[in-house]
Amino acid sequence: MKKLLIAMMILSLLAPACAFAQQEPVRIVFWHSATEDAGELMAGYIDTFNRTIGAEKGIQVEAVFQGSYSDSVSKMRSILSAGNLEELPDLMQLDATGKVAYQTAENAYTIDKAMADHPEADFSSFLAPAMDNWKLSGEQLGLPFATSTTVTYYNKSLIGQAPDTLSDIANLAGSVEVPEDGCIYACVPNTPTLANWIGQLGGYVVDRKNGSEGMATRLDCLEDGTLQAFLTEWKALYASGALKNVASSTDEFVAGKQLIMTSSSSSVNAMLEKIGGAFELGVAAYPRVSDEAQMGATVSGSCLVMFDQGDARKEAAWELLNYLTGADVQADFAAGTGYLPSSSDAAESAVWQDLIAGNPIFNVGYEQILSTPPAMCSVTVGPSADFYYAIQNDVSEMLDQDLSPEEAVELMEEDLGGLLDQYAKANG
Task: List pLDDT tens digits, range 356-384.
Answer: 999 999 999 999 999 998 889 999 998 99
pLDDT of residue 168 exceeding 70: yes
Task: List pLDDT tens digits, range 291-302.
Answer: 999 999 999 999
Are 131 and 212 found together in one domain?
no
Return the exposure string of 280-295: e unless at least 16 CB atoms fall within 10 Å of the residue's CB, then b.
ebbbbbbbbbbeebee
End residue of a domain, out of 333, 348, 371 = 371
Are 330 and 204 found together in one domain?
no
Contacts of 50 (CB under 8 A, 6+ apart): 59, 60, 61
- Is 136 part of a structural domain of the chain? yes
Average pLDDT (310-339) is 97
Are 266 and 117 found together in one domain?
no
Please tell me the total count of domains within the chain.
2
Q: What pLDDT score does 374 carry? A: 83
Are 178 and 264 found together in one domain?
yes
Phi and psi of 127, rounded to 5°?
A: -65, 130
- Is 422 part of a structural domain of the chain? yes
Are 36 and 101 found together in one domain?
yes
CATH number reported for the structural domain that contains residue 217 in this entry: 3.40.190.10
Are 135 and 160 found together in one domain?
no
Average pLDDT (3-18) is 38
Distance CA 291, CA 46 (A): 47
Q: What pLDDT score does 169 carry? A: 98
pLDDT of residue 1 exceeding 80: no
End residue of a domain, out of 326, 343, 371 = 371
At 108 the three-state DSSP class reads strand
**Above pLDDT 70, what percent of the chain?**
95
Q: What pLDDT score does 176 carry? A: 95
Average pLDDT (209-225) is 95
Q: What pLDDT score does 23 carry? A: 77
Q: What pLDDT score does 20 carry? A: 39
- Is 3 part of a structural domain of the chain? no
Average pLDDT (252-278) is 96
Distance CA 1, CA 320 (A): 49
- Is 195 part of a structural domain of the chain? yes
Q: What pLDDT score does 375 carry? A: 87
- Give the residue ranges of DSSP H helices in 23-63: 36-51, 53-57
Query: Is residue 325 within 8 Å of 304, Cβ to Cβ?
Result: yes
Q: What pLDDT score does 428 carry? A: 72
- Is 128 part of a structural domain of the chain? yes
Are 363 and 383 found together in one domain?
no
- Is 336 part of a structural domain of the chain? yes
| 20-24, 202-206, 230-234, 368-372: least confidently modelled range | 20-24
Q: What pLDDT score does 5 carry? A: 35
**Above pLDDT 90, what percent of the chain?**
91
Our CA dihedral for 309, 314, 318, 323, rounded to 10 degrees, sits at -70
Which is more confident, 13 or 333? Answer: 333
Q: What pLDDT score does 8 carry? A: 36
DSSP class per residue in 242-307: -EESS---HHHHHTTSEEEEEEEGGGHHHHHHHHTTSS-EEEEPPPBSSTTSPP---EEEEEEEEE
Are 153 and 190 found together in one domain?
yes
Distance CA 197, CA 203 (A): 9
Are 131 and 253 found together in one domain?
no
Average pLDDT (211-234) is 96
**Domain of residue 213, residue span:** 149-298+378-427
Model's pTM, two decimal places? 0.90
End residue of a domain, out of 326, 355, 371 = 371
pLDDT of residue 346 exceeding 50: yes
pLDDT of residue 31 exceeding 90: yes
- Is residue 70 very low, low, confident or very high in pLDDT (cuts 50, 70, 90)? very high
Average pLDDT (305-314) is 98
Are 248 and 384 found together in one domain?
yes
Are 408 and 282 found together in one domain?
yes
Are 288 and 153 found together in one domain?
yes
- Is 332 part of a structural domain of the chain? yes
- Is 1 part of a structural domain of the chain? no
